[in-house]
Structure 1
């Protein structure tokens, strides 16, 4: 069962959302109506996702509250809003939300958005961990081996790599062999995939 923190100052909407989200044991929902209550809940519990109204009758609006939470721990966020104002959306984007829901909304839309936000957060988290792992592996490579990988990822053959880097074809093959052994890669496709997913091509 999901554990959701809902930040909503309109009592009727908050009750309706809580009832909808707890239906059929989809989730357990804690409701806060302002910044102080939200902080107390957030620091005392572990949540799978936060749903917050952007416009709150509080010292800080939903965007400012999430900005603060992001300095503590990042979890997926879905914003509720009755407006599609460009300035509001731009401010909200700075907090890296995973979805917006415009009021009014229905139950199926709400749950689908939550599930999508959770899925996208998981994918981003896995990708981030993958980059960290690859960073450790990149440290094993020499500067020349990195150059060979980057040139290889551009679709160049060993002969072309040799010409670009002004080294012999035999030296290129030796570097490629060293790369395979250090990174436990077997094929050219795996080497190219490593280069792209680790963003090695952006490193100087």
Structure 2
């Protein structure tokens, strides 16, 4: 199970995210509503990912918090924001986040973005370069097939993928069959290597 630090000052939103990500043991979520509580959790625990609201009502906003945390340890970051303000985006880009999610967001979008962030962070960590030919092949896949590929490449089995995407096991197996045929790949290992060699985070829509 992945461990996530959630930094969000709106209690209802934080509660909804925590409940969503805790379902089916997708993730263990620790919640902080300001800089001090986030820092305390960050130095005491090892997190796979940070989800942070940009607009926090405190002495530091989300970008300032992540900037400071990145000096301690590199952890993939997904920003939440209610605004697509260019000034915020430019500031946030300096912290090299893996994605932004605009509020309101849907459940599948959040989980898919988390899986993508972890995959891309792993790709950078082991220094796998992009294969442009593989990236171009992503155009062969439907949106749902991309979601299945991302979740599969995150180490999920058919039952877990079905629960995460709210589809049947049979539908998952059919999507997997279609993906293998379109990409001319056979094993899960080949699919994982394919996924982390692409720019799926940028192209996924």
Bin for the TM-score computed over the shorter chain: 0.5 to 0.7
- C-alpha distance in structure 2 between counterparts of 1:10 and 1:54, whole Å: 12
1:35 alignment partner in structure 2: 35
SS in 1 for 2:127: helix
- C-alpha distance in structure 2 between counterparts of 1:46 and 1:92, whole Å: 22
- C-alpha distance in structure 1 between counterparts of 2:26 and 2:69, whole Å: 24
1:66 alignment partner in structure 2: 66
Q: Which has the larger radius of gyration?
A: 1
1:121 alignment partner in structure 2: 121
Runs of 4+ in 1 over 6 A off after TM superposition: none
How do 1:38-57 residues align onto structure 2 when only pairs under 5 Å count?
Answer: 38-57=38-57
1:2 alignment partner in structure 2: 2
- TM (norm. structure 1) is 0.62
- C-alpha distance in structure 1 between counterparts of 2:24 and 2:102, whole Å: 24
Give 1:89 shift: 0.2
2:15 alignment partner in structure 1: 15
Q: Which runs of 5+ in 1 are unaligned?
A: 129-204
Q: Which has the higher contact order (CA 8 A, sep 6+)?
A: 2
Q: Root-mean-square deviation (CA), in Å? A: 0.8
Give 1:127 shift: 0.9
1:131 alignment partner in structure 2: none
- TM (norm. structure 2) is 0.62
Q: Which runs of 5+ in 2 are unaligned?
A: 129-205
- C-alpha distance in structure 1 between counterparts of 2:84 and 2:125, whole Å: 28
| Number of aligned residue pairs | 128
